[in-house]
Amino acid sequence: MSARGRAGGEAERRRNRPLRETLDELLAHTRDIARRAKTMTPAEVDYAQQRLEWLADEVWRLATGEAPPPE
């Protein structure tokens, strides 16, 4: 990747704070799962999977500018 391409990505991360925060939360959750996977109960695994899917959807929504789903 060129320096120009990287600089554009850095600017995006600085401008889109909600995206950066959601990505940080997704990474932290993924790391937590990786550390605890062998000792998690089935209920914890189910919750972790649901949360991963929700966070991935949020990252996609924030990155593409889609409207949030209706509540």
Structural domain includes residue 43: yes
Structural domain includes residue 58: yes
Whole-number pLDDT of residue 57: 96
Structural domain includes residue 11: no
Structural domain includes residue 35: yes
Structural domain includes residue 52: yes
Structural domain includes residue 54: yes
Residue 3, pLDDT above cutoff 90: no
| Alpha-carbon gap, residue 44 to 50, rounded angstroms | 10
| Alpha-carbon gap, residue 58 to 19, rounded angstroms | 8
Domain count, the chain: 1
| Alpha-carbon gap, residue 54 to 52, rounded angstroms | 5
What residue numbers bound the domain in which 68 lies?
A: 17-71
For residue range 15-32, list pLDDT tens digits in order. Answer: 889 999 999 999 999 999
Torsion of CA 15, 16, 21, 25, to 10 degrees: -130
